[in-house]
Structure 1
Amino acid sequence: MKATVQTDFSPLFRERHSVRYFDATYKLSEQEIKELLEIAGSAPSSWNLQHWKFVSFTDAAAKEKLLPIANGQKQVVDASVTVAILGDLEANRNAEIVYGPVIRAGLEDAYAGYTSHQILFTQIEEAYAVSETSSYRRDEAIRNASLAAMQLMLAAKAKGLDSGPMVGFDADAFVKAFKVPQRYIPVLLVAIGKAAKPATATSRFPVERTVVWNGFEPNASNSPLT
């Protein structure tokens, strides 16, 4: 009987810190960047619609164009690659692409828990139709793209790289400068490369402050607000 190999991945999560200073001489190949983005794209998403688009900045001129939009944060230039994660406001249009092969293969048990693809597609379209006047499309775009962004940073750490997320940028200016279609909204930027300076570890709340067991109750002793 073969022994089960236990691997502790906790250092991957605990040692990931946001880096602001990158080694500008360190370069990643296109293939290495694609491997990172492939892993990022395996993140979970609602209905598996994969609500993300990645804009990768590796060219010096493109990075310089991005710099003022990112409020002069030099990491967008010095990092090997800066990835803009965009959220898809029309992810419902991905349904046919995602599920077409499943339908043609007759794999009815792969319809995200639905008994037929017709029921699945109808629910997706109804959700997006109703949401034209609500925040649903935007919420879903940001929520799911953020999952991919976090997975991208963990993928970078797993490969011995460093990363730094940024939300301090002018989203409207980004859309205009890089001709982003109306279908997408900028969610955040992630700089990836090799740190020139060690990241400063920051404190985190103890779990006792962030967890609430089984719901909030008035005057409950386990409330993080007490």
Structure 2
Amino acid sequence: MSDSQPTQLLEQQLFFDVIRERRSVRSYDPAVKISREELTEMLQQATLAPSSANMQPWRFLVIDSSELQQKLLPIAFNQQQVVEASAVIVILGDLENIKLAKKIYTQAVDAGFMPEQTANSFIERYTSIHASMPPETLRQIVYTDCGLVSMQLMSIARAKGYDTVPMGGFDKGKFIEAFGIPERYAPVMLIAIGKAATPGRPTTRLPIQDVTFFNEIPEE
């Protein structure tokens, strides 16, 4: 065994522990407050998630005001974690994310990751694709990318000792109206984040043989 193998095994175990220990927590200690600096740090790490064409369509509306959490409560069908958690992070999908293509690829050029000619080619191609894409196709891509960043955020929170729960159960129309969300942003989910007052309930998973198929789907 090489000298690096024990370290690699330990790192793997710590990573797997984070995955196993993550729970959907619905009861939070309202006395625990996460600083905006730490929330920002977690969000920054979460944005390392992959996205289609690296367009990073996720946007985060962090609601950490008690008054606004109370305002959100009925919109989220009175789920108490909305007001008990340290904050609620609203995951929004930017349907006009192509407007930031030049900024994204200029950063890649400045970082030395690609030549300027390649960046310009990507910008031109993705702008053309975006313009011809059916709205529902674009929305599906944005939702997929927002799901990726959401899972990454929840894993990061667990690694730092915090708890989360993703919530798709909220009135999106009322949320848009109450919080003045522009049309370009599609509400995807709410994520409550804080410290559990009671542990999340353990759950089971289907046997892997029931959900995995190699090369073809068997007939039922």
TM-score exceeds 0.5: yes
Kindly report which structure 2 residues correspond to 1:144-223, keeping only aligned pairs within 5 A, or say none: 144-216=145-217, 219=219
TM score, norm. by length of structure 1: 0.89
Kindly report which structure 2 residues correspond to 1:85-124, keeping only aligned pairs within 5 A, or say none: 85-104=91-110, 107-108=113-114, 116-124=118-126
Note the alpha carbon deviations across 1:72-99, whole angstroms, 9 max, x for none. 0010110011100001111111211111
Percent identity among equivalent residues? 38
Distance 1:161 1:120, change over 3 A: same
Offset at 1:116?
1.7
Offset at 1:119?
2.6
SS at match of 2:62: strand
Offset at 1:135?
1.1
Equivalent pair of 2:106/2:119 in contact (CA under 8 Å): no
- The answer to which structure has the higher helix fraction is 2
Distance 1:188 1:105, change over 3 A: closer
Equivalent pair of 1:53/1:86 in contact (CA under 8 Å): yes
Offset at 1:134?
3.7
Offset at 1:179?
0.8
Note the alpha carbon deviations across 1:169-225, whole angstroms, 9 max, x for none. 0111111111111111000000011111111011111111110101325x3xxxxxx
Q: Distance in 2 between matches of 1:175 and 1:11?
A: 37
Q: Distance in 2 between matches of 1:108 and 1:152?
A: 28
Could you tell me which runs of 5 or more consecutive residues in structure 1 were left unpaired when the two chains were aligned: 220-225
Q: Distance in 1 between matches of 2:112 and 2:204?
A: 50
* Corresponding residue to 1:125 among 108, 124, 127: 127
Amino acid at match of 2:84: D
Could you tell me which runs of 5 or more consecutive residues in structure 2 were left unpaired when the two chains were aligned: none
Q: Distance in 2 between matches of 1:174 and 1:134?
A: 21
Distance 1:104 1:155, change over 3 A: closer
TM score, norm. by length of structure 2: 0.91
Equivalent pair of 2:89/2:190 in contact (CA under 8 Å): yes
Offset at 1:40?
1.4
Query: 2:144 aligns to what?
Result: 143
**In angstroms, what is the RMSD of aligned CA positions?**
1.8
